[in-house]
Amino acid sequence: MLMRFVILAFFGMCSLSAAAAEVNVYSSRKDVLIVPLLEQFEKQTGIEVNLITGKAGALLSRIQSEGAASPADVLVTVDAGNLHRAKAADLAQTIQSKLLESRIPSALRDPQMNWVGLTQRARTIFYAEDRVDPKALSTYENLVDGEWKGRICIRSSSNIYNQSLVASLIEVHGESFAESWAKGIVANMARKPTGGDTDQLRAVAAGQCDLAISNTYYYGRLLDSERAEDKKVVNTVKVFWPNQGDRGVHVNISGAAITKYAPNYDEAIKLLEFMVSDEVQAYYAKVNHEFPVVDSATVSATIQSLGSFKAHDLNLSILGENNKRAVMVMDRANWQ
């Protein structure tokens, strides 16, 4: 039976149940996305799963403070930047699994196998169908053109999704270019950054801006919603895939690492291998509208409706390596 412990605003210790075969998971993913999978894993393997949930930063701090006594086996979180932080803090160890290496593309896992991608998402451009000709759109770089002045909605620079996008631009064009680009985005903002990705999409639908940058799964949730306000968004806001003539769309992941002092290493490997089965990958795609990391997995009709695109094949470990520079670039650009 799945044992669950939820972190709210504290880092106190809580005891995890002992079992002959168990695995302890620290996860920043929402319950609806991971609990059904963990329950299925328990049924298939007989390995008991103990789950602690919380924010990514809180979980990293918890593992660090627990040190060698940490019961954590697996850290599940979003964005390669967060996973790199775990590696950089010496909180992760090598994942030894030929199956994971064979099923997960090299760009979506750490070169030293300190973490692996479990799902994939694209951070792309969305536009107001009645106010923007998609022929005027082309690349992320093009968003700083004067044509888009006062027309872009995007969330705060404190958001790691935006940090990773800037980190990718640093890798492609260099830090000077990325800073100029960030300043151009700030100059073209329709409003001060506020809210999450869904708020940016709603702002386009409401006429507060004409373009937004958002992760695709937020739009997927709106596509599947029966709420009138959500239908308004998807009826008026459409997706555009930038940089199709060169490197492709910026993508990122949710993923997992096995912690440095994992007491149940073998069980942790079995869990990660379970997570990249075709069935589990299809579940992710259907429930959270993310793209599988495994090519053979079924993609939901909602995801298929977004159309196909060329993805940037940059190894995502670079996003974490460039994160500090990306944050400094955005600070110098006065991206709030």
Residue 3's pLDDT band (cuts 50, 70, 90) = low
Domain-located, residue 308: no
Task: Find where tokens 């089965």 sit.
Answer: 277
The reported pLDDT for the residue numbered 59 is: 96
288 or 261, which is more confident: 261
Co-location of 93 and 217 in the same domain: no
Contact partners, residue 76, CB within 8 Å, separation at least 6: 25, 26, 27, 28, 29, 34, 118, 254, 255, 256
The CATH number linked to 133 is 3.40.190.10
Q: How many distinct structural domains can be found in the chain?
A: 2
| Percentage above 90 pLDDT, the chain | 89
Co-location of 39 and 112 in the same domain: yes
Domain-located, residue 307: no
Domain-located, residue 116: yes
Average pLDDT over residues 191-200: 97
Domain-located, residue 149: yes
Co-location of 235 and 263 in the same domain: no
The reported pLDDT for the residue numbered 17 is: 42
Tens digits of per-residue pLDDT, 200-242?
999 999 999 999 999 999 999 999 999 999 999 999 999 999 9
The pLDDT of residue 10 is above 50: no
Question: Could you give the 3-state DSSP secondary structure of residue 75?
Answer: strand
Domain-located, residue 313: no
The reported pLDDT for the residue numbered 5 is: 46
Co-location of 191 and 328 in the same domain: yes
Co-location of 160 and 189 in the same domain: yes
Structure token pair of residue 122 = 């694209």
19 burial via Cβ count (<10 Å: 0-12, 13-18, 19+): middle
Co-location of 77 and 112 in the same domain: yes
Tens digits of per-residue pLDDT, 264-291?
999 999 999 999 999 999 988 888 899 9
Co-location of 205 and 163 in the same domain: yes
Co-location of 328 and 195 in the same domain: yes
Strand-pair partners of 34: none
Co-location of 112 and 152 in the same domain: no
Co-location of 216 and 104 in the same domain: no
Co-location of 237 and 262 in the same domain: no
Written as one letter, the residue type at 190 is A
The reported pLDDT for the residue numbered 196 is: 97
Q: Report d(CA 278, CA 30) in Å as an integer.
A: 21
The mean pLDDT value of the chain amounts to 93
Strand-pair partners of 249: 311
Domain-located, residue 130: yes
Closest of 14, 60, 9, 70 to residue 268, by C-alpha: 70
pTM (2 d.p.): 0.90
Task: Evaluate whether 166 touches 329 at the Cβ level (below 8 Å).
Answer: yes
Residue 31's pLDDT band (cuts 50, 70, 90) = confident
Structural domain boundaries enclosing 272 = 3-120+252-301
Domain-located, residue 311: no
Please give the distance of CA 123 from its chain centroid, rounded to a whole number: 9
Task: Evaluate whether 149 touches 322 at the Cβ level (below 8 Å).
Answer: no
Domain-located, residue 23: yes
Co-location of 48 and 66 in the same domain: yes
Contact partners, residue 12, CB within 8 Å, separation at least 6: none
Question: Could you give the 3-state DSSP secondary structure of residue 325?
Answer: helix
